[in-house]
Structure 1
Amino acid sequence: MFFGFTEEEKMVQKSVRNMLEKHCQTEDVRKFMEEQTVSNKIKELFGNQGLLGILEPNGEEVTGVTYAILIAQEAGRALLPYPLLENVAGLYALKTCKQHGDLIEKVEAGNEMLTIAWRPESAEAFATEDGYSLSGKLCEVPFAADADQIIASVRISGKGNTPQEEETVVVISKDHPSVSLRKLPGTDETYPIYDVAINNYPLSNANIVKGIGMGTGHQLMNKVKQLGALLAASEMVGSSERALYDTVEYTKERKQFGVVIAKFQALKHMAAEMYLKVESAKSAVEYAAWALESGDPEAELSVSIAKSYASSAAKKVTGDAIQMQGGIGFTWENDMHLFFKRATRTAFLYGDSYTHNEKIAKAAIDAIAGASSAAK
């Protein structure tokens, strides 16, 4: 079985890397941290390159996953201050039904931007004469101020026997008068988050994605979160790989006691361990992408393994990168803290290591129990 990348996939990755090296330098990232506004140039570039609509639903399978992880990896390498994961996964959700064609075209062209409310909290809709009225809060919504539309999984009262069955994925216009935002403090300044308060937002069938209640929204949002977890893992691979190589280059220039510190045995061992973690995380992500795209029965488990390992590896690698650069690594002017903050933030999104380790352990225990039962 061949697990390498095709020439076309390599070409796409190289194209994205070249584009971001030109238009998303560290000074561009720091400029965003000051202004907290997504660059129109970045939106235009991703729209013109056709990179956002790379995922396509194909029954129970998803096509374009390999392309998506390569794009996410380059975004992580560049510390891209743009809701790439939310737009890619959000477009996938919209494509599961046929009534959002206009919005899909606008987002894919870079004319509108999506975000996803990963934590809907208390948002619930009730029936009215004209449809439904939605009220509640969406917590920690990334890039909400820049986004045009918010995708969220909310409860529609009476459309299921349990709160889970009532879940429905909807599209909410951020600029509607019933929607208000509150900026939240965050560790990673490249990823602004907002609480979104909603007061009697009018929902109609035009806002519904795929179907109302009966578990449809819950299943769809789980799939979107699964894709988000995999893309986040790939983004962390890119960030940690960049942190590793930049740090190795630094050790080749920095001298101590008249000797470049790259010759110190302790730093060689640290770099070797960092490299092992980066490459192992990369392999886990690539395998999970193959499993998800091919409809492998263990796709969900593979994504959990990739997210769990990449989360731990990225935090360790970026933390060690700061240590290897010594005192300068702790200063604001040094870029390593940006990679560390990005890794720390992403590690807790879409399920942290503990959450995914619990899924992995449950799968292992179930497998052992099944084998024991079969042996009897």
Structure 2
Amino acid sequence: MTAETLPSSAPTPDPDLLYSEDEDALRAAVRSLLADRSDPATVLAGLESDIPYDTALWRALATEIGTAGLLVPEKLGGQGASAREAAVVLEELGRSVAPVPYLTSAVIAVTTLLGCDVDRAEVAEPLAGLAEGRTVGVLAVPLPTAPGGVPDPAVRADADGALTGRVTSVADATAAELLLVLAQGPDGPALYGVEATADGVRTETVTPLDLTRPLAHLTFDGARGRLLARGDRARTAVERALLTGAGLLASEQLGVAEWCLSETVRHTAERTQFGRPVGSFQALKHRMAALWLEVASARAAARHAADALATGSPDAAVAVAVAQAYCAPVAVRAAEECIQLHGGIGMTWEHPAHLFLKRAKSDELALGSPGRHREALAGLVGLSAP
């Protein structure tokens, strides 16, 4: 019996926070790829050349390893895995701040399409493209949009599917070939698929804090879209995608924090003062020990969220809110400690520490701030103010 079929009076199964052998094998494959093609020097070189994302790396990650279709059932052309496996991929991407649109395309866009009628060709065809890594898709909502906080659509749709409006701060829109647009139609909200290169679509690149996750404003001026879903189904598909994205973003934040802690321990063990490694000084030991405890707790929170999403737990929304409220500040704190404990070199462009701080700060606002998730958690567990 799955978690989705349990009666409401039945206790929720304990979450499985451990990694399976298959998940460990997936981690090894992804880590090996990223170590070979996305080391800090490579990422920095890409940023200096104004390349929005690494197409060769994305092709290898999405198609050669097959991570693009992890969340897609096998009968629809995917790998038939779950949020647990996708979380492992995002942990490794966080450890390398790789400039690839995995969260936006393989998680959020895929989950949006899975919430539509996948038996329709209008949905099945783009879903297959995303699953195979042939297409990069993006849900056209502002990056800070939180689960449960989807505003009224800023885009309007005519009866013939012509879209008009503007959406700001869309992550990875510059890399997208397919835009999933929630619009207000004549009969209520509706979800449309729009080619990024279609007439009437304009993409305006903006300079983000985190250069490894580009942002852009999207303007639609009579662009034609294919109807994917309408009414409550369209809004529910978007809400589920944002919840899944926020829950798995916690795993990326965990990866950021893990790299920062590991790099700080390595550096302080090698750098010496007064004939001793600075990492042997008690004050620094205490700071790194405290950070280790926070990272370990973040791992538990992120794994709980991934497991809850994978099993369809009725507590998934609670698990996601807890994970985001906790993991986001931990990633920022770990990145700040990494820079401070590296001393002067940590402040330089040549050292990759600033990439992790920028990703951590960007992730802290993405898909809802920690405060927004704490507020949501209070409501979910009945602690809302009267």
Question: Given the superposition, is the C-alpha separation of residues 94 and 363 from structure 1 closer, same or farther in structure 2, using an over 3 Å criterion?
Answer: closer
1:93 — aligned with what? 112
Contact residue 48 and residue 110 of structure 1 kept, 8 A? no
State the Cα distance separating 1:347 from its structure 2 match.
1.0
| TM-score, L = length of structure 2 | 0.86
Output one character per residue of 1:137-179: Cα deviation in whole Å (capped at 9) or x when no partner.
Answer: 12111222221111222221x32xxxxxx32222111101211
The gaps in structure 1 that reach 5 residues or longer are: 160-165, 370-376
Instruction: Point out the more displaced range, 239-248 or 286-295.
Output: 286-295
1:16 — aligned with what? 30
| TM-score, L = length of structure 1 | 0.88
Instruction: Point out the more displaced range, 297-306 or 92-101.
Output: 92-101
Contact residue 318 and residue 336 of structure 1 kept, 8 A? yes
Q: Does 1:76 align with 2:76?
A: no
The gaps in structure 2 that reach 5 residues or longer are: 1-13, 75-79, 143-150
Question: Given the superposition, is the C-alpha separation of residues 200 and 277 from structure 1 closer, same or farther in structure 2, using an over 3 Å criterion?
Answer: same
Q: Does 1:174 align with 2:192?
A: no
Which amino acid in structure 2 is aligned with residue 142 of structure 1? A
Aligned-CA RMSD value: 2.1
Which amino acid in structure 2 is aligned with residue 194 of structure 1? A
- Aligned match of 2:58 in 40, 43, 55? 43
Once residues 349 and 203 of structure 2 are traced to their aligned partners in structure 1, the CA distance between those partners, rounded to angstroms, is 29
Which structure is richer in relative contact order (CA contacts within 8 A, separation 6 or more)?
2
Contact residue 284 and residue 306 of structure 1 kept, 8 A? yes
1:208 — aligned with what? 227
Once residues 237 and 107 of structure 1 are traced to their aligned partners in structure 2, the CA distance between those partners, rounded to angstroms, is 25
Instruction: Point out the more displaced range, 304-313 or 27-36.
Output: 27-36
Question: Given the superposition, is the C-alpha separation of residues 147 and 368 from structure 1 closer, same or farther in structure 2, using an over 3 Å criterion?
Answer: closer
Which amino acid in structure 2 is aligned with residue 152 of structure 1? V
Instruction: Point out the more displaced range, 146-155 or 113-122.
Output: 113-122
**3-state SS in 1 of match to 2:158:** strand
State the Cα distance separating 1:363 from its structure 2 match.
2.6
Which amino acid in structure 2 is aligned with residue 140 of structure 1? S
Contact residue 36 and residue 192 of structure 1 kept, 8 A? no
Q: Does 1:193 align with 2:210?
A: no
Once residues 289 and 81 of structure 1 are traced to their aligned partners in structure 2, the CA distance between those partners, rounded to angstroms, is 22
1:372 — aligned with what? none
State the Cα distance separating 1:26 from its structure 2 match.
0.9
State the Cα distance separating 1:366 from its structure 2 match.
5.0
Q: How does 1:184-333 map to 2 (within 5 A)?
A: 184-203=206-225, 207-209=226-228, 211-213=229-231, 215-333=232-350
Once residues 169 and 73 of structure 1 are traced to their aligned partners in structure 2, the CA distance between those partners, rounded to angstroms, is 30
The number of equivalent residue pairs is 351
**3-state SS in 2 of match to 1:230:** helix
Instruction: Point out the more displaced range, 26-35 or 191-200.
Output: 26-35
Q: Does 1:112 align with 2:135?
A: yes
Output one character per residue of 1:47-104: Cα deviation in whole Å (capped at 9) or x when no partner.
Answer: 121111111479xxx9601001001101111111011011122122223423233323
State the Cα distance separating 1:261 from its structure 2 match.
0.4
**3-state SS in 1 of match to 2:67:** coil
**3-state SS in 1 of match to 2:175:** coil
Report runs of 4+ in structure 1 exceeding 4 Å deviation.
Answer: 366-369
State the Cα distance separating 1:5 from its structure 2 match.
2.1
**Percent identical:** 26
